[in-house]
Chain A
Amino acid sequence: MNGGTPPAIAFREVSRSFGGRTILNNVSFEVAPGEAFCLIGRSGMGKSVTLRLTIGLIQPDSGAISVHNDNIVGMDEEALSKVRSQIGFLFQSAALFDSFSLHDNLAVPLKRLREKKPDEEIESIVQKSLDDVGLGKDGHKMPAELSGGMRKRAGLARALMLSPSILLVDEPVSGLDRVTASEIDDLLLRVRKRDNTAMVIVTHDTREARRIGDRIGVLDNGHLIAVGGIDELAKNENALVRALVSEAQ
């Protein structure tokens, strides 16, 4: 790691199975503060599971997972909650709360977590966040009224409400047209540049991985079969890695 700075995220020999099927098998990697690490691979190879393990939504069968040097494996709920407050998570479906307006979806983290802020201040922070993702005039809308791209942008705004040092992003552009996908990528790049946020981005879109990622990891059959920059991976001896990366070139 850079000059002794602890990694934002570290996986050490992490394994996880579901119903007898090994999804991750002794996977190890690190993500430095401010680094964007993209995970690519075929469907069902454990990319989203990796994100869920990182934030403690599921526990590994073996191995250690550290977030800013805190091992979250076996951590109690209270301690895990503190670790989670440093992490933002953009879900594949955006996971906006159906029964809340867009404005209230964004206000939830501020109302529940931080020391009680005046309503006017919460209002101003929420409005600024909505403006940042281009949804300034849509705060009153319910999630069902939003398009796929708007939902993703709203989900991103909510994930960033507490200024996390780590952002986990699950398939940010799946199901979106190329233009909207590019807008989401621009937002992610802007966030990274502005806040120096460490990111783990799970994606099927290798063009996106090339554009955003400092390093790319390829998961296949439970193993992290390659990690490196896009040019490095293009010369990898594994045909699958070369095939995945060639799509981006």
Chain B
Amino acid sequence: MRSYLDFIGNIGLFALRAARRVLVPPFEFQMILRQIEVAGWKSLPLVLASGLALGLVLALHTRTSLVQFGAEAEMPAIQSLAFFNEIGPLLAGLLMAGRVGAGIGAELANMRATEQIDAIEVLSMDSFKLLVIPRIIACSIALPILTVCMDVMGLAGGYFAERATTDLSIQLYISRAFHSVSWAAFVPPTLKTAIFGAVIGLISSYLGYTTDEGAEGVGRAATNSVVISSLAIILIDVVLVKAIFFLFPETAI
């Protein structure tokens, strides 16, 4: 129990250190752009494919139930609400925790094990500012964009599933999909993924940057980054959903 509390305390201190340093120059814009490419651009194929597949599957499942109640016309609206509110943000977050979190944890742990982080310090550079801050910022910028891409692909998957069984036009599908979606139902859930991204970047960076187990620590940092980041964003999601319902009551169905 004590080790869990220690871990949470250390993550908190690490987050405080990051919060203090993020506004202090030099701003590592090149590193941030490079990390956005790694976290965002290189994750795009996985997110697009997952969104499309999940959109198809969700539509196939919901259609069966909706037909029983004669409500199949609501399928596009259900698809859009499901993706915008929860599936898009949470799945994009979990995919990023898996792909990017593991990468950050392993990369930083490897840099620690091979003395590259010490070499940065020895060259009078701030390794925390150079390695940790850009990764946290990049994850929190990339994840909302990936979430929008996942939402779009989820809707596309839903359309393809619908199109396979009916003659529904794309215009009508889009019209029905967005009919019951307000900005309040789209913007807050999408923006909450910036917090997911920051949490993934923070936890993975912490586990990689602070490891002191040599080569063994690389694998452990990668695995723990995925497990702990995924768990953290699921737990934080619960809190954020309640917060969004409180701030935007019209989004609570």
Contacts and interface: CB of A to CB of B under 8 A. Distances in A.
A85 B123 CA distance: 7
B154 to A, nearest CB: 34
Interface string B106-131: 00001100111011011111100000
B134 to A, nearest CB: 13
Nearest to B125: A112
Nearest to B130: A112
B124 A57 contact: no
Interface in A91-145: 91-93, 95-98, 108-109, 112-113
Contacts of A87: 122
Contacts of B124: 81-82, 84-85, 112-113
A160 B92 CA distance: 46
Contacts of A85: 124
A198 to B, nearest CB: 16
Contacts of B115: 91-93, 95
Given A93-B114, A95-B114, A77 B126 contact: yes
A49 to B, nearest CB: 13
Nearest to B110: A98
Nearest to A56: B121
A93 B118 CA distance: 11
Contact of A89 (B110, B111, B119, B125): B119
A109 B118 contact: no
Contacts of A109: 123
A200 interface: no
- Which of A85, A95, A97 has the largest count of B CB atoms less than 10 A from its CB? A95
Contact of A57 (B110, B114, B116, B122): B122
Interface string A62-98: 0000000000000001000110110101011101111
B113 to A, nearest CB: 9
Nearest to B114: A93
Interface of A: 52, 55, 57, 77, 81-82, 84-85, 87, 89, 91-93, 95-98, 108-109, 112-113, 158
5 contacts: A84-B124, A85-B124, A95-B115, A112-B123, A158-B123
Given A84-B122, A98-B111, A113-B125, 17 more contacts: A57-B118, A57-B122, A81-B124, A82-B124, A84-B121, A84-B123, A84-B124, A85-B124, A95-B114, A95-B118, A95-B119, A96-B116, A96-B119, A108-B123, A108-B125, A113-B123, A158-B123
